[in-house]
């Protein structure tokens, strides 16, 4: 298998897939084992059975996102393989959003608020995953907008989250959300341009994903260990 995309007119994806920047996929290749290690520590330190299982969900979703992204973006699999991995890659973003909120919600919220937030994020993730599986050629702006909206749904629960943990968790969530949103906007606008040779808009998006994940990972640690 080659790591250089062949320039064929029948390729099903954008021209950026025919001219991959040098760093394409490397950010998430590095992030995959680091996220696994961080999540394993969180699972071990989780003080209750509920927060421990919620942390396992977070660990699985994080590892799936970074590892699948690394595999998809580092190697050219051919048209059929690319289509399968692209569906998985885009679907994993929805899983990560829901997976990140799971331990924070379990640790910080109770009763109706907990049920509502978990239902919204996992229901929204399910709808988003179905969209990416069955509508792979959807306009870039459409699924990017859904990522952003689902990611910010917890804004309606920030005060209860702060009451259940502390305001540091809230500020880290907001900061991570801002970084994620900036990356998503650059991804939707496709800037820097598709012919960037080293670091293009996709790499900027991946970098923002890693930074946003790190901020929210710290928030998750604080929330879970305070439970």
Binding site, annotated residues for Zn(2+): 73, 202, 206
Annotated binding site: 73, 202, 206
Q: Are 204 and 186 in contact (CB under 8 A)?
A: yes
The angle subtended at Cα 138 by Cα 32 and Cα 89, nearest 5°, is 10
Rounded Cα–Cα distance for residues 64 and 50 (Å): 21
Rounded Cα–Cα distance for residues 227 and 213 (Å): 21
Rounded Cα–Cα distance for residues 168 and 153 (Å): 18
**What DSSP state is assigned to residue 11?**
-
């Amino acid at each position: 298998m080659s790591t250089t995309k062949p320039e064929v007119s029948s390729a099903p994806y954008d021209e950026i897939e025919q001219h991959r920047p040098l760093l394409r996929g490397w950010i998430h290749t590095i992030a995959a084992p680091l996220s696994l290690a961080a999540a394993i520590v969180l699972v071990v330190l989780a003080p209750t059975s509920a927060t421990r299982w919620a942390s396992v969900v977070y660990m699985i979703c994080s590892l799936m996102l970074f590892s699948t992204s690394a595999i998809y973006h580092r190697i050219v699999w051919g048209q059929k393989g690319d289509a399968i991995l692209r569906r998985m890659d885009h679907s994993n973003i929805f899983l990560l959003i829901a997976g990140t909120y799971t331990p924070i919600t379990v640790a910080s919220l109770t009763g109706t608020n907990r049920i509502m937030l978990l239902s919204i994020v996992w229901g929204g993730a399910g709808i988003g995953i179905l969209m990416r599986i069955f509508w792979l050629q959807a306009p870039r702006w459409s699924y990017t907008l859904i990522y952003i909206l689902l990611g910010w749904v917890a804004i309606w629960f920030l005060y209860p989250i702060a009451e259940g943990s502390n305001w540091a968790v809230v500020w880290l969530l907001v900061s991570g959300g801002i970084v994620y949103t900036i990356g998503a906007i650059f991804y939707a606008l496709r800037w820097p341009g598709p012919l960037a040779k080293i670091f293009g808009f996709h790499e900027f998006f991946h970098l923002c994903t890693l930074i946003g994940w790190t901020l929210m990972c710290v928030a998750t640690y604080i929330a879970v260990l305070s439970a």
